[in-house]
Structure 1
Amino acid sequence: MNNFILWSLYVTLFFYCIIDGYQTKLLLDLGADEFNPWLRWLMDITGTWLSMLLFKVFLLIGLGVLLFTKYNQRIHEDAQKPGT
């Protein structure tokens, strides 16, 4: 059951990332400015919003993968304890 909850959070995080990136792209197309200085710097270097979208996608997917691997590591360590 815990694995189902973890995967649900991971999938939700992925879809949130896609929606957030699309919403940011639409706002940038309407003339809004990016508030995050790192993303603004990244967009100034490449000259496009695509770099910002890739950054957001890989950042959030990376966080999801870290959550998943930490969870699996904890399960593996619990299984190695004697008497379990």
Structure 2
Amino acid sequence: MHRTNFVERHWKPALAAAGITKDLSPHSARHTFASWALMEGVAPQIVQHRLGHESLETTSRRYAHLLLDAQRAAVDAIGWEPSPGT
């Protein structure tokens, strides 16, 4: 199915049925999925696979800010940060 047909036949009616009035794209749902998954601690490799990215670098570049937040949360959780190289 062509993207335009999908959006008109399925996406927009689904948004309306859910009571969503903001004009969101299917891509925004994809980005939200990836963001939420990473924020919940899903391994970046799993998110990479689910998004169909060929390389982990693609996923890491796009969502780097979330991965850094996860690293900070990990340090905060244990209250200690190892020195680089140790």
**TM-score for the superposition, normalised by structure 1:** 0.28
**TM-score for the superposition, normalised by structure 2:** 0.28
Greater share of helix residues, 1 or 2? 1
Instruction: Work out which structure has the larger RCO, using CA pairs closer than 8 Å and 6 or more positions apart in sequence.
Output: 1
